[in-house]
Structure 1
């Protein structure tokens, strides 16, 4: 996705992740946004298919996320008009990229006027400074990969420069203000490569513009006044100046065929003698050609390279859609039915309330389009039946009650049988494309049992750690949930999804 699409998607993610209490967007709003985005992306896909083009799976997911972000941000902007100022791309880079090079041209044009406007100074401080500074920059660019920690410090400075600060309107609700603050931090981090490329492009262009301004100044003044060449120095004699200028102007004399100079020529131009009007144009040509070779051409090429990289990043902004939040939203893509979370309870009778809240857990794991397939509870000591019979399963989960103590002969055998019985799979993810498999540990009954007992929180942590360690030993990802209050374990679910994503990439 491009920069604009990526920014909208990151902003949508920040809003929905911060709005856990559904004060900004209700569940109905989110479901409607997903359905609308699915329809819009399907229409666009059908249009592309009719034209003989198509989209890969990742591109389909990116298109869906972009369409959904449009729906979400429009809904938030309609309800909170002050929010609309954050939905557009900032225009600071465009202004910076225009103003700085123009200012550099003007500065270069005025730089040489600090000297005598009627004399070409062979040791012109402004022109020598421009050349020397650019040579140091080139050296720094060559050594930059070896800079290590120093490079990190420069990157931190650029982060503050590029990220800026978000000024929050007073009328925004607290949850939305928190979301925008998180978005500012996340977007600054994600856009760092693009911001760096744009910054480099502008700085290289400004350096070239500074040299162009100095060249223009030399020739414009030469049209209106008669240059008299000369030089003076307290510490350098004519031989040393001749050696310096010979090395400095050697490329210009060789490539452009400009008339050279001898030691006697340099001696004749030393002041406090009267500066000579003879040969003034030659020194103008030498300085102009040297600035062109050492500054204008290299900096222009570097600016073009940085600009090409910036355009490439802006067209194809790097964003990881494999994160748990995006995986939940896009899990249903490519399926005719809603994504299915299949649950196998073990020695656990799921009552009506917990059954209803399993749907909320499924949405947190898979997305708004999800639905739950609750299989009959397996009795203690038995193994699951027909685990491979179901089709189109997005995620399979074993459901345990935290009240129980995990046992290798029973709970471990149950996990192993489910792993083997999934369609096409063994382990965390089958080589033949089985749906991901995890364990859900419900803490709700255990919390009811320990109540407000002294040391209850410590006992809960210890029991949760025991179950997680047990599942890890059996190489099955595990998530602690609360089927009476699913949102209380939202962070654990997000962490578990991140683990699943890591396993998916490793397989």
Structure 2
């Protein structure tokens, strides 16, 4: 699935999950979009003489829903079609700005000479060396690098500049806020690749601009090369330039220099005027070679894999289709019926709660979904081993741990069980929280207990769903 299609699908997902009361998107709207999308996907598949795919169904369905919502709420339609503009800024503006800055940098600093200690050129090289060191550090500390990308400007790269439109139904505004957070998170890898590509190309363009400036001025101007310093003598300058230009001389087979020659190139010495005038071209070649070796080649080498990652992620966006929302739509698209495998933890499920769990399975995975209720995991028992043993009987569609919120969450027991579930099922791990044992609590204390459990589950990497397994079917799901 391409990036724009994934963005539309995720936005529709946020709307449908936020609009539980069917206020902005009725049940008829959803059924019509599903039926139309199935027909469009089948028609497209027949045109391509291939089987219809689930991603194409999701893309067509999202398009139908967004058109309908955009017609009813123009502000939402504008938001749905918003583009961040990052492709133009990152792809063209920054590299062009870097090139122009490189063209002007050395010209502004010293328009008449080739300064052996040219501050702009040395800063370009030094800055890039520091960046290479930072890249190595980031590679060793990936989590730190990821946190550094989580900033407002990266959010703008993801969803564009501007806030949530006002004067929209509450559920629609809530959906848009949820979408912004989710899209920023799951598009982080794509936008990080885009930013890396742009920064590397801009740095390379800066160096290329400086090279172009050196050679273009040399066509119409006769360079005089030399150096001057208050604190460095000829030996210090020779040592520094030997470190800087040694690899360049060896790689490009350029003419070298000696300590005595460096001593004669100091600005302000009347005896070396002819020497200064005759050495300009050699030092232009040396600085151009240094910029190519230390900046252009490494930066382009780093930009190529970043560009490939961005291209690949844009064409094959990593949208997780194993979530319950997509599992439920898979049935509507003609897929197999899902199975909700429920593993109670230190919790005996009676007949009434078992029937309610069947309704949860339908809500999570569609009308044809089935429930498979497994034996409870005893309190204090290693949940990892239990989940692994019970999983050997077959691969379920979704595995969910069931907790009673009458218990207090404990890291070493409930937390360990959730960790085992996450290790078994990945990021889509689901936890059902039954609040039926808390009917005697007042509303304030009930909210506190719900938030306690929700935060506990999210901390351990699972998605919590709060249900009341003794409530009537229309009030089964209290919150999510």
- TM-score range (shorter-chain normalised) is 0.7 to 0.9
Q: Secondary structure at the match of 2:231?
A: coil
- One of 107, 113, 121 as aligned partner of 2:101: 107
Q: CA separation of 1:328/1:222 partners in 2, compared to 1, >3 Å: closer, same or farther?
A: same
Q: Distance in 2 between matches of 1:38 and 1:362?
A: 23
- 1:171, distance to aligned residue in structure 2 (A): 3.7
Assess if the C-alpha contact under 8 Å between 2:467 and 2:476 holds in 1. no
Structure whose alpha-carbon radius of gyration is higher: 1
Q: State the partner residue of 2:365.
A: 366
- 1:229, distance to aligned residue in structure 2 (A): 0.9
Q: State the partner residue of 1:244.
A: 240
- 1:335, distance to aligned residue in structure 2 (A): 5.0
- One of 226, 229, 235 as aligned partner of 1:233: 229
Q: State the partner residue of 1:389.
A: none
- One of 77, 82, 95 as aligned partner of 2:88: 95
Q: Secondary structure at the match of 2:269?
A: coil
Q: Secondary structure at the match of 1:286?
A: helix
Q: State the partner residue of 2:20.
A: 20
Q: State whether structure 2 residue 84 is matched by structure 1 residue 122.
A: no
Assess if the C-alpha contact under 8 Å between 1:397 and 1:440 holds in 2. no
Q: State the partner residue of 2:454.
A: none
- 1:126, distance to aligned residue in structure 2 (A): 0.3
Q: Distance in 1 between matches of 2:444 and 2:98?
A: 64
Assess if the C-alpha contact under 8 Å between 1:358 and 1:483 holds in 2. no
Q: Distance in 1 between matches of 2:114 and 2:365?
A: 74
Q: Distance in 2 between matches of 1:292 and 1:208?
A: 9
Assess if the C-alpha contact under 8 Å between 2:104 and 2:210 holds in 1. yes
User: 1:102-134 CA deviation, whole Å, 9 max, x = no partner?
Assistant: 111111111012333111100000000001111
Q: State whether structure 2 residue 261 is matched by structure 1 residue 286.
A: no
Q: State the partner residue of 2:413.
A: none
Q: Distance in 1 between matches of 2:401 and 2:329?
A: 21
Q: State the partner residue of 1:162.
A: 157
Q: Distance in 1 between matches of 2:95 and 2:263?
A: 38
Q: State whether structure 2 residue 132 is matched by structure 1 residue 138.
A: yes
Assess if the C-alpha contact under 8 Å between 1:12 and 1:73 holds in 2. yes
Q: Distance in 1 between matches of 2:439 and 2:258?
A: 97
Q: State the partner residue of 1:298.
A: 298
Q: Secondary structure at the match of 1:325?
A: helix
Q: Secondary structure at the match of 2:277?
A: coil
Q: State the partner residue of 2:250.
A: 254
Q: State the partner residue of 1:147.
A: 141
The TM-score normalised by the length of structure 2 is 0.74
Flag structure 2 segments of 5+ consecutive residues without an equivalent: 341-348, 378-387, 404-435, 450-464
Q: State the partner residue of 2:371.
A: 396
- 1:197, distance to aligned residue in structure 2 (A): 0.2
- 1:141, distance to aligned residue in structure 2 (A): 1.3
Assess if the C-alpha contact under 8 Å between 1:166 and 1:181 holds in 2. no
Q: Distance in 2 between matches of 1:435 and 1:107?
A: 56
Q: Secondary structure at the match of 2:284?
A: helix
Q: Secondary structure at the match of 1:35?
A: helix
Q: State the partner residue of 1:33.
A: 33
Q: Distance in 2 between matches of 1:427 and 1:331?
A: 28
- 1:486, distance to aligned residue in structure 2 (A): 2.5
Q: Secondary structure at the match of 1:249?
A: helix
User: 1:56-107 CA deviation, whole Å, 9 max, x = no partner?
Assistant: xxxx322222221111111111111222222236242122121111111111
* 1:338-349 equivalence runs, <5 A: none
Q: CA separation of 1:70/1:63 partners in 2, compared to 1, >3 Å: closer, same or farther?
A: same
Q: State the partner residue of 2:472.
A: 484
Q: Distance in 1 between matches of 2:180 and 2:20?
A: 19
Assess if the C-alpha contact under 8 Å between 2:208 and 2:296 holds in 1. yes
- 1:143, distance to aligned residue in structure 2 (A): 2.2
Q: Distance in 2 between matches of 1:190 and 1:179?
A: 16
User: 1:383-436 CA deviation, whole Å, 9 max, x = no partner?
Assistant: xxxxxxxxxxx31367xxxxxxxxx9xx99xxxxxxxxxxxxx99667356787
Q: Distance in 1 between matches of 2:446 and 2:268?
A: 93
- 1:282, distance to aligned residue in structure 2 (A): 0.6
Answer with 281-290 or 255-264: which moved more. 255-264
RMSD of aligned Cα (Å): 4.0
Q: CA separation of 1:486/1:165 partners in 2, compared to 1, >3 Å: closer, same or farther?
A: farther
